[in-house]
Homo-oligomer: A and B are copies of this chain.
Amino acid sequence: MVDEKMYELGTKKSTIRTIFEFGRKRAAEVGEENVFDFSLGNPNVPAPEFIKKAIIDIVNEMDPVALHGYTIAPGDPVARETLAKSINRRFGTSFAGKNLFMTSGAAAAITITFKALAEDGDAFITFAPFFPEYRCFVESVGARLDVVPARTEDFQIDFDAFERMITTHTKAVIVNSPNNPSGVIYSLDTIKKLTDLMRAKEKEFGHPIFLISDEPYREIAYDGIEVPYLTRYYDNTIVCYSYSKSFSLPGERIGYIVVPDEIADFGRIYGAIAGAARVLTHVNAPSLFQRVVAKCADMPSNIETYEKNGKLLYNGLIEAGFTCVKPQGAFYLFPKALEDDDVAFCERAKKYDLLLVPGTDFGCKGYFRAAYCIKTDTIERSLPLFKKLAAEYK
């Protein structure tokens, strides 16, 4: 009666959903303030005041027929030109509006890109730990996801493993830096090694291998660490960006795809992206928010709270005896679990109402994800509980 695969995807509870529901149940029993929910990657910093001002100014000033009407499929030309120039100012690139395709956030951007590129027998590579929806999205376009095991000492890239995995079937490599769930930013050294190796493999195989940069966390980087803009290092790069985290607008579904002129065949790739957006009914991203993000293109992200939270949680965990790569960006820590079985560890943490997500969910057993986009006070009050949890393992 229905597509069984869709039924399964729509009804099978994710680990995070199960944890969330457990948290709601516990909140009813012990009080909201006594549940320490580190499971959800939802921005808790409000959208900046300039977003509100932009919305009000735009609806007051613009003709509603133009404002709420259809834009052309890739998005409003003025908004795209404005965003392209803003990217150019920041990263020394030279995009025009025609290089951008506005999308309903990064999830739509990557799915459209996968759909545009995937041919029969294609594989996409990503690196553990990784955002689990990649598998769902890649498989939904009929391709295979190959996962390079994590380099757990720093969550940069295990190049030997990567080189063994890349084959003539590899259509593209997906990177996500700052990373969900590790919070790590790929260093310039990592990017150079990665793109050198990909270029060598392109030459060896005689066809392009695309680099898909999934960048919802680009703006959330600490201590002045630079997140390399990948089109500058590799011609066959496609950038998938979202304002969900940078401006705290996850519900508004607004982002874009960048296809640089330097890519193997701009016309074919941009054309296939337009076709994929059409069949996935993602043409014309929400029109008010196209104008809102264009108006706010050069405005900064507010990352102060995330930075403070990240350091607080990191120091607390280190003090409690955990090992963890230092927070560099995004709003996640990915510490080592205190037993090999990360699922059992996260179960045990529930005793203290500490809600954590097993690393297994992100393709990296033996670790756990703690999202710190929550109240600073909650993190402070959680630290003695992490200590108690750690004490159980001593």
Measured CB to CB, the residues of A under 8 A from B are: 1-11, 42-47, 51-52, 55-56, 59-60, 63-65, 67-71, 104-105, 107-108, 111, 115-119, 136-137, 140, 207-208, 248-253, 264-265, 267-282, 284-289
Contact of A2 among B45, B116, B253 (CB under 8 A): B116
Is the contact region of chain A dominated by helix, strand, or loop, or is it mixed?
Answer: helix
CA distance A56 to B264 in the complex (A): 45
- Smallest CB gap from A289: residue in B: B286
How many identical chains are in the complex?
Answer: 2
Known: A52-B64, A249-B68, A275-B9. A3 touches B115 (CB 8 A): yes
In Å, the complex CA distance between A342 and B339 comes to 74
Question: What are 27 A-B contacts with C-beta separation under 8 Å?
Answer: A2-B269, A3-B115, A6-B116, A6-B271, A6-B273, A6-B275, A7-B272, A9-B275, A10-B270, A10-B273, A10-B278, A11-B275, A46-B65, A52-B60, A68-B252, A69-B250, A69-B251, A71-B251, A104-B104, A104-B286, A137-B281, A251-B288, A252-B287, A253-B286, A280-B281, A281-B282, A286-B286
CB nearest to A107 among chain B residues:
B281
Q: Contact: B46 with A63, CB < 8 Å? A: yes
In whole angstroms, how far apart are the Cα atoms of A213 and B5 in the complex? Answer: 24
A104 CB contacts on chain B under 8 angstroms: 104, 253, 281-282, 286
A3 touches B251 (CB 8 A): no
Distance between Cα atoms of A284 and B277 in the complex (Å):
17
Instruction: Pick the most buried of A42, A51, A275: most chain B CB atoms within 10 A of its CB.
Output: A275
**Measured between alpha carbons, how far is A69 from B42 in the docked complex, in Å?**
7
Cross-chain contact A43 with B65 (CB below 8 angstroms)? yes
A1 with B69: in contact, given A6-B275, A9-B275, A281-B107 (CB under 8 Å)? no
In the complex, the answer to whether A251 meets B2 with C-beta atoms within 8 Å is no
Question: Which residue of B is nearest A48, CB measured?
Answer: B64
Nearest to A274 among chain B residues (CB) is B10
* Alpha-carbon separation in the docked complex, A111 to B108 (Å): 15
